[in-house]
Structure 1
């Protein structure tokens, strides 16, 4: 039995975070990879990452990845409400730092 294709598979979203950050997230047609591109202050930053994905509710997906820089990102996408709850961690002064944020999605394609 195969897992259902994630609802975000093959789509591109504008992801706007409550801290002002914005990203263009383009998901592979099979839902296993993401190409994120920073916008605004993060313009010019991008990466292709492998995803870990699990459906956690109707039109809700837990998605996680690790970036080459060591940043880890985990978020729950609610495709019905077009919202995201995201937790990311990175190396900061004095050790690992974690941040919890909310954001909105706008489907671009």
Structure 2
């Protein structure tokens, strides 16, 4: 995790994250903001992973958060906790090489 002056604003909290493509997740962040446990909802129900985060604050209430999963999937979020929105970019291995997708989403704090 990239060191910041204060704990990330999402540290110790849980959010429902709804992505513009219909995917939905329950994201639970560790109390120190260094780890994330995501759980798939809807079509992704039953999938989950605990990952180490790389975090940097880019503006008040706005955080850049990134991680790499064992599958090779990489995810980068720009979380705006004031507006409760996320811009997410993920990449994965697809036919013919690496594929990247840019999405938007909404957050709802549930814990």
> Displacement, 1:3?
2.3
Whole-Å separation in 2 of the counterparts to 1:18 and 1:26: 20
**SS of alignment partner, residue 30 of structure 1:** coil
Render the CA deviation track for 1:51-97: whole Å, top value 9, x for unaligned.
00000011000000001111000010000000000000000000000
Unpaired stretches in structure 2, ≥5 consecutive residues: none
**Is 1:89 aligned to 2:91, yes or no?**
yes
Aligned residue number for residue 15 of structure 1: 17
TM-score normalised by L of structure 1: 0.98
> Hey, which bits of structure 1, 4+ residues long, moved more than 3 A?
none
Whole-Å separation in 1 of the counterparts to 2:5 and 2:40: 30
TM-score normalised by L of structure 2: 0.96
TM-align CA RMSD: 1.1
Unpaired stretches in structure 1, ≥5 consecutive residues: none
Whole-Å separation in 1 of the counterparts to 2:4 and 2:67: 22
**SS of alignment partner, residue 97 of structure 1:** strand
